[in-house]
Amino acid sequence: MASHNLKIHEKCTVAPPSAPQTSLPLVFFDLIWIRIHPVERIFFYSLPVTHSSPSIFFTQVVPKLKTSLSHTLQHFPPLAGNVTWPNGSSHPVVQYNPGDAVSVVLAESEADFDHALDNAPKEASESRCLVPHLESSDSHASIMALQITLFPNRGFALGISTHHAILDGKSSTLFIKAWASLCKTNDDDSVSSPSLAPELEPFFDRTVIKNPSGLGVDESLEYAQRLTKRFPGENSDKSCLKLLPFRPRLEDHVRGTFELTGADLERLKNRVLSKWDSVDIIEAESNSNSTVFSKPTRLSTFVLTCAYTVVCIAKAMHGVEKEKNKFGWGFTVDCRARMEPPIPENYFGNCLMGSLADVKPSAFIEKEGFVIIAKSIHNKIKEISDNGVFHKGDETGRKYAVLAQEKAEMLGTSGSNRFGVYQFDFGWGKPSKVEITSVDRALTIGLADHRNAKGGVEIGIVLKKPVMELFGTLFRGGLSDE
């Protein structure tokens, strides 16, 4: 799906019909991400031939998408604005001014749509031309960009790029869900501001976020500045808003999607629980005071999926490159329901706390690595649930630094199987495939619910070709092992 197969029809903008000027402060949850790469997703939709011929698609389908996008932005005006750093302010803000708009690229691809939908590993670069570039400079940054790409007579791809400092996965998928809802249900274009279902209305009030001691705005900005030092030559000024160049890993890399069904997860759960008491967590030396929890009766899909996948990745990387024998895995926890008091599920922004699996870097490639990592993740989440989201929160940065000193390969996670992305119907049916394209910017696994199997999960990853081959063998083989 090389870029030369792509024809750009139009570059345009879409604005809300009539939203007032809006300024939204950024809180410590947001500012950690201020210069991190955008989150990029692609939703692939199959269309009947009656809607997917170029003449019909660009004259009927696209106008409906653009009109409903404008109506949705009326409820989400910050998405049409920019991140700016006002003179004299101690931190940046989101500023929407009337006239601000979202960039939309309209394109047409000559590539094979069925190939794009296939889960089998393919060149990592193939998806890149379907994702829009998110503009940023020293003084401001766009918050969202969109690209709509037609595959003639087959379907279309909706690519979305969002600024992580303004919205987390829960907020970005809330927006897509709201847009899909208005596109599917509002047939009267004369209505300038159709209403959304209450659960789809974003909640913007930042006063519900209480700064914990030791984890304020200044600490978040200091973290962002430390991150900048990893990119020599980039502007390291505290108020610079240009996104750092986390280059996609494309050369010699392939992108694949792997699945776990409900039955697979049940087998994995039974394997972990059967060995819970006989396999000890090999703890990191810096973590001698962790809480020990008793054997649970259940394990979440998140725990099982992440533990199984990252261990398979670590063992595949070690199998291909023996010198790679130290690993770390970081993940984020949604804090909305865990705050005191809890904040609304439709809170718009970031409400995530980072955490780490507290294990020795060599634990991932141990024979019982899956059980060790699953126990570690479960215990960490239980500790957060019991003690609050800010419990030992100031230790995460220090632990990352220790892993960096040990030159451990750091793995991460993006997305969630709870976002329900396969339910987003714009009026032409549910997605045929959803991909978190930005997992190619770091060693990250992308999670989504399963498109067909209820209770299942999909995992998107980008790895070097020989590592992906071994990963596939380990991943599939481990599901049949008893």
| Catalytic residue positions, numbered | 164, 425
Cα 177 to Cα 181, 226, 231, 379, 436, distances in angstroms:
6, 35, 36, 33, 16
DSSP E strands in 115-185: the ranges are 122-123, 140-142, 144-151, 155-162
Pick from 12, 72, 42, 81: nearest CA to 440: 42
What is the rounded distance in angstroms from the CA atom of residue 52 to the CA atom of residue 45?
A: 10
Helix, strand, coil content of the chain in percent (nearest 5): 35, 20, 40
CA dist 367 and 278 (Å) reads: 13
Cis peptide bond prior to 245, omega within 30° of 0: no
Distance CA 448, CA 189 (A): 33
Return the residue matching tokens 């869900």. 177
| DSSP code per residue over 391-445 | TTTTHHHHHHHHHHHTTPEEEEEEE-TTS-GGG--SSS-S-SEEEEGGGGGTTEE
Token pair for 288: 């001698």
List beta partners, residue 193: none
For residues 6 and 156, what is the distance between their CA atoms, to the nearest angstrom? Answer: 13
Between strands 327-334 and 409-415, the pairing is: parallel
Say how far apart CA 335 and CA 180 lie, in whole Å. 26
CB 147 within 8 A of CB 7: no
Are the C-beta atoms of 401 and 6 separated by less than 8 Å?
no
- ∠ at Cα 72 (70, 76), nearest 5°? 110
Judge contact between 37 and 246, C-beta under 8 A. yes
Contact status, residue 205 vs residue 25, Cβ threshold 8 Å? no
End-to-end Cα spacing for the chain:
40
Question: Any idea which residue has 């498109």 for tokens?
Answer: 451
